[in-house]
Amino acid sequence: MAPIAVICIALMALCVGYHFGRRAGSTPLPWKKRTSRVALARAALSLVLLVGARRVRRNLVRSGLSLLRFR
């Protein structure tokens, strides 16, 4: 029963935060601004950087585990 209560509280906090965040923020950017070449290039670059960081992290974890295995 406790996990259900925690999930309900978390969902309620998310909804309240979303509602007040939407009201406090300015109007959303128009479609043309969101899909400009600069915006799309930034999104693509951030995706490439995130994938690269994930690979580096995974390789470091793998190499760390292999070092521990051979000791």
Say if residues 39 and 33 touch (Cβ distance below 8 Å).
yes
- What are the residue ranges spanned by the domains of the chain? 2-69
The model's pTM is: 0.47
Q: Which two tokens stand for residue 64?
A: 């760390």
Examine the pLDDT at 26 and tell me if it is beyond 70. no
pLDDT band per the 50, 70, 90 thresholds, residue 30: confident
Q: Would you state the pLDDT for residue 46?
A: 95
Q: Give the list of residues 6+ apart from residue 30 with CB closer than 8 angstroms, or none.
A: none
Percentage of the chain lying above the pLDDT 90 cut: 18
Q: Kindly report the backbone phi and psi dihedral angles of residue 64, in degrees, each rounded to the nearest multiple of 5, phi listed first.
A: -65, -40
Would you state the pLDDT for residue 48? 95
